[in-house]
Amino acid sequence: MTASILVVGSVAFDSLKTPFGEADEILGGSATYFSVAASYFSQVRLVAVVGTDFPDKHLEVFRKHKVDIAGLVQVTGRTFRWKGEYGYDLNEAKTLDTQLNVFETFKPEIPEAYRSCEYVFLGNIDPDLQLNVLEQIKRPRVVACDTMNFWIKGRPDAVKRTIAHVDILIINDTETRMLADEANLVRAAKKILAMGPKTLIVKRGEYGVLMFHGTSVFGAPAFPLEDVYDPTGAGDTFAGGFMGALAHAGDTTERTFRRGIIFGSVMASFDVEKFGLQRLTDLTRDEIDERFRQFKHLTHFEEV
C-alpha cells in the first residue's frame, strides 16, 4: 500500500457558467477536486465541512474513489456555495457570488487516525488554519500548500508564517509575483524559496507549469486541448495528481517531482474537458498513463 495523503480544504456547491454551458449547484470545492484526482494514485483522507443541506448522493463520489471521509464534518447550516462565470478565453473565473456559510467558522480538526499521514495538502484556506492543521500532525514527510491573492494581499505575514513550515508551495504566476513583490518570475521564485519552501510550483493555466526546486528549474507546457469546457478545479486537480504521484512513488527525488508535475498536468487536462467533476470521476488508470505518454511525445526533443 502506498502512503496516504491528508487534504484539508473546501467541499462546496458550485454554480458555473461558461460560453459552452452552465450548471447549478454541482459538487465542487478544492478538497473535492484534489481528492478525486489524487485517488487514482493513492489513499486520500479528507478533512472538510459541509452543511445539513449536503445530500448523501454526493458522498457517493468520495466512496467510489475510496476517499476516507471520516474527517468530513457535517454541521448545522448551509454548505459553502460559489458562483462563477468564464469568458471565451476560459482563463480566469469572474466570481459572481461567494457564500461561505458553514465554511466561515471551519476549524479543521484532524482525526486521530489521520495524524500520521505522511503526505499533507493544505488547500486554500485561512493561512492561520493551515498552520494549525500542521501543528496537529505528527511528522509529515511532505507538506504542500496552496493559497491565493486574497490572503497574500490581506494577510501577507500570516501567509509567510505558514509557508515557512511547508515543503512545496503551489500557486499561480500572479500570486508568485505578488507574494515576492517582484515582477521577474525567476527572481520572485528565488525570494519565495528563501521564505521556507524547498519547492515552488508556479501554475500558468493554459501555458503550463514551472517548478523551482532548489537550484533546478523544470518547465512543462499544458496539454493542448481542442475541447476546453470548464476550467473549474484545474489547480486543485493538478495538485491532486501531483501529490498522488508523489505518495505513490514514495520518494522525494527530483525525478519523482518532475513526473508528479506531469501527472498533475495530465489530471488537470482531463478536468477541463468536461463540466465539473464529470471527466475526473470516470477515468481509468490506462487513460491517465496514455496521456502521460502523449505528454512525453509533446515535449520530447533530442540532445544537442
Q: Which residues bind its own copies (CB under 8 A)?
A: 88-89, 183-187, 190, 204, 206-208, 210, 216-221, 224-228, 255, 258-259, 261-262, 289, 292-293, 296-304
Calpha distance 35→17 (Å, rounded) = 23
Min. distance of Cβ 122 from its own copies in angstroms?
25
Residue placing its CB nearer to its own copies in the complex, 64 or 187: 187
Longest dimension (CA), the chain: 63
> What long-range pairs does 278-284 form, CB within 8 A, spacing at least 24?
280/33, 280/36, 280/37, 280/233, 280/237, 281/36, 281/61, 281/64, 281/65, 283/40
Residue placing its CB nearer to its own copies in the complex, 22 or 289: 289
Min. distance of Cβ 176 from its own copies in angstroms?
12
Residue placing its CB nearer to its own copies in the complex, 11 or 243: 243
Give the Å distances, CA to CA, from 221 to 85, 169, 254, 273, 295.
25, 19, 18, 17, 9
Min. distance of Cβ 119 from its own copies in angstroms?
20
Residue placing its CB nearer to its own copies in the complex, 195 or 218: 218
- Please name the residues in contact with 123: beta carbons below 8 A apart, sequence gap of 6 or more: 7, 8, 9, 10, 30, 31, 34, 146, 236
Min. distance of Cβ 101 from its own copies in angstroms?
35
Q: Return the bridge partners of 48, or none.
A: 72
Min. distance of Cβ 272 from its own copies in angstroms?
12
Residue placing its CB nearer to its own copies in the complex, 196 or 292: 292
